[in-house]
Structure 1
Amino acid sequence: MNLLVVGGGGREHAIIKKLKENPQAETIYALPGNGGISADAVCVPEIGAKDVEQIVRFAKSHAIDFAVVAPDDPLALGCVDRLHEAGIPCFGPEAKAARIEASKVFSKNLMKKYGIPTARYEVFDDPAKALAYLKTASFPIVVKADGLALGKGVLIPQNLQEAEAAVKSIMEDKAFGDSGNEIVIEEFLTGPEVSVLAFTDGTAIAPMVSSMDHKRAGDGDTGLNTGGMGTVAPNPCYTPEAAAECMEKIFLPTLAAMRAEGCPFKGCLYFGLMMTPDGPKVIEYNCRFGDPETQVVLPLLKTDLLTVMQAVENETLG
């Protein structure tokens, strides 16, 4: 089989290494790939991960049998939709399902509508109204850009002055471009964080081993949020009892909610969880394998990755 993996980071390298274990995998192409990946796949550096039309053209001309779209941007841009239109089997959600990450407003409203536990929040598209709301808020507080921001669109101001600066940076100075046209301001949750990556074909779900990533810069977690600076797996805070509660109250209800909204989720759904004193709550969803979590989770996977991905695409994961 000729395989194609879209992306060029450590996450994609971990995926490619696992795909290589399947004896059916002949040639694996990485678009664009990177220097490390070139030891395990054929890199095509001239085609970027967001160049959807070029990716589809390449897949057709190179007789690709199965594609994996790993990063958030091409998923949100509809890369999987276009590959499907071209008749190429593909792992990853279509654009309407990728909104679960691409729009914080969509995901928070989804959780509120379907009773999925998450932090209390308000949505703003007018900076003046957001600034007025902050005067009534308690701190610390969480300010999130609505759209994709490379894992850096979440700020945790400790006081009113920092919060006002965060709103101005995101909404007025456009620190994250159009991703900051709308923002979510939500309560600050406490407790250990847990990341759970799960395979799902829209109905069945198979969680992978839990993990814990280190997000805040600076000693004592005092700095800005980063895209993740390191990870351990499994997460020592994630007990079998916690896993059962998350399955019942978060994982299955999320899949049901997405089906009810007409955008069933197929691919790898990432649950960013906080184990609060009131039970597990969703901090965020990602529509793809997390980075850096994938680099520690996938090496622990015992089942063949390509077979699992094909079951997701064919909706036979159950």
Structure 2
Amino acid sequence: MDLLVVGGGGREHAIIKKLKENPVVETIYALPGNGGIAADAVCVPQISATDIGAIVDFAVSHAVGFAVVAPDDPLALGCVDALHAAGIPCFGPDARAARIESSKVFAKDLMKKYHIPTARYEVFDTSAAALAYLKTASFPIVIKADGLALGKGVLISRSYEEAEDAVRTMMEDRAFGDSGSRVVIEEFLTGPEVSVLAFTDGTAIAPMVSSMDHKRAGDGDTGPNTGGMGTVAPNPCYTEDIARVCMDTIFLPTLAAMRAESCPFKGCLYFGLMLTPDGPKVIEYNCRFGDPETQVVLP
């Protein structure tokens, strides 16, 4: 069987190396791939990960037997929907389910409605409303762009001045484009962070080994958030007892919530958690294999 993997980074290389262990796999195509991936797959650099039409045409013309859509952007754009419509079996959520990452507002409202533990929050569509709210807020506080921002759309503000700058940067200067047209402002939580990637068919769930990534750019967890500065696995803070609590209060309830909203999640669901003094809470969901976590979890 020939496979197709959409994406071109370290995460995709880790996925491809794992897929190669299956004896039924013959050729793996990486769209677009990269120089490192070329050692393990046939790269197609002329097709970007967001060119959905070209990806589908390639999969059909090359009789691909199975596809894996790894990055968030093509998932949010409906790459899985388009591949399925063309008769290509595919791993990953459809566009409606991918909203659990592509819209912070959707994810937070889902957790609120279905009583999944997370930080308290408010949603704002204008900078004026957001700034008025901040005048009554306590700090530090977390400001998140609603849409996808390459892991950089979360700003921790320790004063009103920092928060004002964050809101204006997102909503007025449009530093993250349309992704910052709405913002979520939420309480600042404390505790160790845990990343758990899990396979799911929408009902059953099989978590992989836990991990911990380092997001802040500077030493001592200072500086702005990045897409990830490095990762360790397993996470030493994630005990068996905590894992059971997360399964009962977060993992299974999230899948049930998505089914109840008529958008069951199928693929790899990433739970970004914080182990607070009040118990585990969700910081974020990702609708795919996390990067860089995948590079230590899959091996």
Q: Is this a same-fold pair by TM over 0.5?
A: yes
Give the whole-Å Cα distance in 2 for the aligned partners of 1:98 and 1:44. 25
Q: Could you tell me which residue of structure 1 aligns to residue 277 of structure 2?
A: 277
State the 4+ residue runs in structure 1 displaced beyond 6 angstroms.
none
| TM-score between both structures, scaled by the size of structure 2 | 1.00
Matches within 5 A, 1:20-35: 20-35=20-35
Matches within 5 A, 1:239-318: 239-299=239-299
Question: Structure 1 residue 168 and structure 2 residue 191: aligned?
Answer: no
| SS in structure 2 of the partner of residue 244 of structure 1 | helix
| SS in structure 1 of the partner of residue 284 of structure 2 | strand
* C-alpha RMSD of matched pairs (Å): 0.3
Give the whole-Å Cα distance in 2 for the aligned partners of 1:211 and 1:29. 28
Give the whole-Å Cα distance in 2 for the aligned partners of 1:13 and 1:190. 33
Amino acid at match of 2:15: I
| SS in structure 2 of the partner of residue 254 of structure 1 | helix
Q: Could you tell me which residue of structure 2 aligns to residue 70 of structure 1?
A: 70
Amino acid at match of 1:28: I
Give the whole-Å Cα distance in 2 for the aligned partners of 1:201 and 1:252. 12
Amino acid at match of 1:193: E
Give the whole-Å Cα distance in 2 for the aligned partners of 1:197 and 1:173. 34
| SS in structure 1 of the partner of residue 225 of structure 2 | coil
| SS in structure 1 of the partner of residue 220 of structure 2 | helix
Give the whole-Å Cα distance in 1 for the aligned partners of 2:279 and 2:224. 26
Give the whole-Å Cα distance in 1 for the aligned partners of 2:166 and 2:130. 11
Q: Could you tell me which residue of structure 2 aligns to residue 184 of structure 1?
A: 184
Q: Could you tell me which residue of structure 1 aligns to residue 44 of structure 2?
A: 44
CA drift at 1:219: 1.4
Amino acid at match of 1:48: S
| SS in structure 1 of the partner of residue 224 of structure 2 | coil
| TM-score between both structures, scaled by the size of structure 1 | 0.94
CA drift at 1:217: 1.1
Q: Could you tell me which residue of structure 2 aligns to residue 131 of structure 1?
A: 131
CA drift at 1:37: 0.0
Give the whole-Å Cα distance in 2 for the aligned partners of 1:277 and 1:264. 31
Amino acid at match of 1:205: I
Q: Could you tell me which residue of structure 1 aligns to residue 12 of structure 2?
A: 12
1:244-291 superposed Cα distances (whole Å, 9 cap, x missing partner): 000000000000000000000000000000000000000000000000
Amino acid at match of 1:40: D
CA drift at 1:295: 0.2
Amino acid at match of 1:283: I
Give the whole-Å Cα distance in 2 for the aligned partners of 1:126 and 1:38. 46
Q: Could you tell me which residue of structure 1 aligns to residue 211 of structure 2?
A: 211
Amino acid at match of 1:127: S
CA drift at 1:222: 1.2
Q: Could you tell me which residue of structure 2 aligns to residue 309 of structure 1?
A: none
Bigger CA drift: 72-81 or 213-222? 213-222
Count residues in correspondence. 299
Give the whole-Å Cα distance in 1 for the aligned partners of 2:76 and 2:295. 22
1:208-252 superposed Cα distances (whole Å, 9 cap, x missing partner): 000000001111111000000100000000000000000000000
Give the whole-Å Cα distance in 1 for the aligned partners of 2:137 and 2:280. 23
Q: Could you tell me which residue of structure 2 aligns to residue 308 of structure 1?
A: none
Amino acid at match of 2:178: D
Q: Could you tell me which residue of structure 2 aligns to residue 144 of structure 1?
A: 144
1:173-192 superposed Cα distances (whole Å, 9 cap, x missing partner): 00000001100000000000
1:52-88 superposed Cα distances (whole Å, 9 cap, x missing partner): 0000000000000000000000000000000000000
Give the whole-Å Cα distance in 1 for the aligned partners of 2:140 and 2:223. 13
Amino acid at match of 2:267: G
Give the whole-Å Cα distance in 1 for the aligned partners of 2:217 and 2:276. 22
| SS in structure 1 of the partner of residue 35 of structure 2 | coil
